[in-house]
Amino acid sequence: MTGAPELGSEIESQRILAIDYIKALAIVAVAFTHAGLPPWDPNITSYDRVLSGFWVQFHVPAFLLLSGFLYYGSTEIGFQRIRARMVRVLIPYLIASSIVQIAGFSDAKDVRDVLFQLATGSALGIYYFIFLLVSFIPTLWLLSRMSRRAALIALACILATSFCLDIYIQILLRGPDPPHGSIFWLVRNPFNYSYSMFIGGWVAAAYLPQLQRTLEGHRTLIGVLCLIGIGIWTAIHVWRGPLISSGIFRLVYTLSMIVGLILLTYKAHPIHLVRFLSDSTLALYLYHNMFQIMAQPYVTALHPLIRILTLVLIGLLGSSALCLVGRRLLGSRARTLLGA
C-alpha cells in the first residue's frame, strides 16, 4: 500500500508520527485478517471471528483515509504527478501479481483469466485494495481544483450515497429471496464507503489546522467518543441483528480507532519497528499472504489461537525479510519495484 500504505505524501510538513502508528497497526491487522478462516468456512472458530474478523476491520478504510490525507496538495495536481502516483502503486502490484501467477497461488486457468485478475486486483483476493486506490488516484485532478467547501460538500454527498447503498444491500440480504452472488464487486464498489474514506482524508488534510485545534481543546471528550465508537462496534459484533449492514458502523469504528491512536501517540517517541512497518506497508501487504498460503497446510491442525498467531508471524516476518533483502540488493529501487 503505497498511497495508503506507502502513501507518497503531498503534505509539505514534518512527518506526522501518529500516521506511522496507524499504518503499522493497520498492516498488522491485515496480517491477522488473512491468518484466520473466512466467515463462510464451516470450520471457523470463535478465535477466527475475534482475532481475524472483529478488531481488524478498520485496516483498509484507514489506509484509504490516509491515502487521501497524504495525497492532499494545496496546489493543482496535474496528470504528471498523478501518473507518478499510479506508477508507485502499479509497478510493485504488477510484480507481486506476476509472482502470484507464476507460483500458482491464483485460480487463473488461461491468459484471459490472468488479464482479468490483473485489471481487477484479484490474483489474490486481498488485492482489491489496489483496484480501489488506482481508481481513486485520478480523482486527485478534480479534488485539487475544488475549494475546501466544495470538497466538503462532495464528501457529504458521497457519504449519503454510501449510506443509501448500505441500507439497500441490507434490504436485499434480509428479503425473501436474498441474492447469492459473490462479494467480488461489492468490495470494489467505490460507494461502499471506500471513496468516502479517501475523500474524507483529503478533506481532513484541507482542514488540518482546525482539526488540530479541536483535538487539542477537547481531548477528553473526543477520547470518550472514540471509546463509545469502539463500544458500538463491539456491541454490533456481539449482537448480529443491526438495522443496516455493518458498513456505517465500520466507518464509525475506523474513525474511532484512527482518532484514538492519534490521541494515544501525540506524545509518543519514534520507534524503529513502527517506522519500518509504516515505510514498508505496500510490500508487506502485497507479499505477506503468499507466505501464509505456503504455511497454511502445516498449521491447520494446530489449536486455532496458535494457528492464527503463527500465520501472522510467518506472514509479517517473511514479507519483512523480503523487504530487508530487497533494500540491501536493490537500494532505492526497492521502493519502486517492491514498495519497500
pLDDT at 185: 80
AA identity, residue 281: T
* Confidence band for 14, pLDDT divided at 50, 70 and 90: low
pLDDT at 311: 97
Ramachandran assignment for 168, one of left (phi > 0), alpha (psi -120 to 50 degrees), beta (any other) = alpha
pLDDT at 182: 63
pLDDT value at 218 more than 50: yes
pLDDT value at 155 more than 70: yes
Contact 67, 7 (CB under 8 A): yes
Quote the CA–CA distance of 213 and 207 in Å, as a whole number.
10
pLDDT value at 88 more than 90: yes
Tens-place pLDDT, residues 90-132? 999 999 999 999 998 988 888 999 999 999 999 998 999 999 9
pLDDT value at 170 more than 80: no
Query: Whole-model pTM?
Result: 0.88
pLDDT at 178: 56
Tens-place pLDDT, residues 25-76? 999 999 999 999 988 888 889 899 899 988 999 999 999 999 999 999 888 9
pLDDT value at 241 more than 60: no
Quote the CA–CA distance of 113 and 117 in Å, as a whole number.
6
pLDDT at 339: 84
Percent of the chain with pLDDT over 70: 91
Measure CA 48 to chain center.
Answer: 19
pLDDT at 41: 85
**Burial (0-12, 13-18, 19+ Cβ within 10 Å), 48:** buried
Grid coordinates representing 209 are: 489546522
- What is the sign, positive or negative, of the torsion defined by CA atoms of 50, 315, 201, 205? positive
Tens-place pLDDT, residues 282-335? 999 999 999 999 999 999 999 999 999 999 999 999 999 999 999 999 988 988
